[in-house]
């Protein structure tokens, strides 16, 4: 066989070997990710049902039908898997917000939807009748866990929110000075309103959940406008 054909054959076989290795590696990565997600999901349910202090790594291994060695391969300690649960739950909180952020809407309307959807997420957390019972339980059993999850979620929200606010700057009806102020106070406003909402304090105002979320959205948007006001939903 001529040298050129030998080299071509060798290159072809090498390429096939590389492609096979890449497929194998990708398959291994997907399997590893699935295993990790399963461990996190099992830990989430155990933490919610038994409490973090009463849940052991052996419990997680048994419930996930994985060996202890497998659990420790992915997470060196219960603290590490707890941190992964926190990250996972915060990601769940902002997943729907990302969908709103990606919608093709005028910036002001996108801001309104962003605020309203946040309350729907809080409703999911606080409502015992929803499928997200472990999430609600994690929040309700320990305020520090709630603060840690929401703080991480707020950091992710902040990036999207600031982007929406920058887009609002092109609206001639919006006061840019108020936009700058809102960037500063919004995190504090969110935390205070979130707690009030989850405690159902809006009922003292004689409004339902939907009205309350719209009132808060109106309050924010009305404060941003130069002259015109938005009619309250009450």
pLDDT digits (tens, 9 = 90+) for 45-104: 888 788 888 899 999 999 999 888 999 998 999 889 988 887 887 787 788 889 989 999
User: Which tokens belong to 104?
Assistant: 């093709």
Q: Are residues 100 and 210 in the same domain?
A: yes
Q: Are residues 21 and 90 in the same domain?
A: no
Separation of alpha carbons 17 and 59, rounded Å: 41
Separation of alpha carbons 80 and 82, rounded Å: 5
For residue 209, the model assigns a pLDDT of 79
CATH of the domain at 99: 1.10.357
Q: Are residues 32 and 64 in the same domain?
A: yes
Boundaries of domain holding 160: 85-224
Q: Is the pLDDT of residue 148 over 90?
A: no
Residue 184 CA from chain centroid, whole number: 21
Separation of alpha carbons 150 and 135, rounded Å: 12
Of 76, 109, 132, the residue that ends a domain is 76
Q: Are residues 45 and 112 in the same domain?
A: no
Q: Are residues 15 and 95 in the same domain?
A: no
Q: Is the pLDDT of residue 133 over 70?
A: no
For residue 225, the model assigns a pLDDT of 86
**CA neighbours closer than 13 Å in the CB half-sphere of residue 230:** 20
Q: For residue range 159-169, what is the model confidence (pLDDT) as tens digits?
A: 888 899 889 98
Residue 232 lies in a domain: no
Q: Are residues 179 and 108 in the same domain?
A: yes
Closest CA to 145 of 41, 56, 53, 59: 53
Q: How many domains does the chain have?
A: 2
Separation of alpha carbons 105 and 109, rounded Å: 6
Mean pLDDT taken over the chain: 76
Of 76, 99, 130, the residue that ends a domain is 76
Q: Are residues 152 and 209 in the same domain?
A: yes
Q: Is the pLDDT of residue 44 over 60?
A: yes
């Amino acid at each position: 066989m001529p040298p050129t054909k030998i080299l071509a054959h060798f290159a072809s076989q090498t390429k096939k070997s590389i492609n096979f290795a890449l497929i194998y590696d990708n398959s291994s990565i997907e399997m590893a990710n699935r295993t990790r997600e399963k461990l996190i999901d099992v830990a989430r349910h155990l933490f919610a049902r038994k409490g973090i202090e009463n849940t052991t790594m052996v419990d997680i291994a048994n419930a996930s039908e994985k060996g202890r060695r497998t659990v420790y391969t992915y997470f060196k300690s219960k603290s590490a898997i707890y941190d992964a649960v926190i990250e996972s739950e915060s990601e769940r909180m902002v997943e729907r917000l990302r969908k709103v952020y990606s919608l093709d809407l005028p910036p002001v309307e996108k801001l309104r939807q962003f605020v309203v959807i946040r309350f729907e997420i809080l409703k999911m957390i606080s409502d015992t009748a929803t499928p997200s019972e472990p999430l609600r339980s994690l929040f309700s059993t320990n305020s520090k866990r709630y603060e840690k999850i929401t703080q991480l979620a707020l950091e992710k929200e902040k990036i999207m929110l600031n982007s929406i606010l920058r887009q609002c700057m092109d609206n001639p009806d919006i006061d840019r000075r108020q936009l700058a102020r809102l960037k500063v106070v919004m995190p504090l406003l969110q935390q205070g309103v979130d707690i009030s909402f989850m405690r159902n304090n809006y009922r003292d105002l004689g409004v339902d959940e939907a009205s309350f979320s719209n009132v808060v959205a109106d309050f924010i948007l009305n404060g941003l406008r130069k002259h015109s006001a938005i009619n309250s939903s009450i």
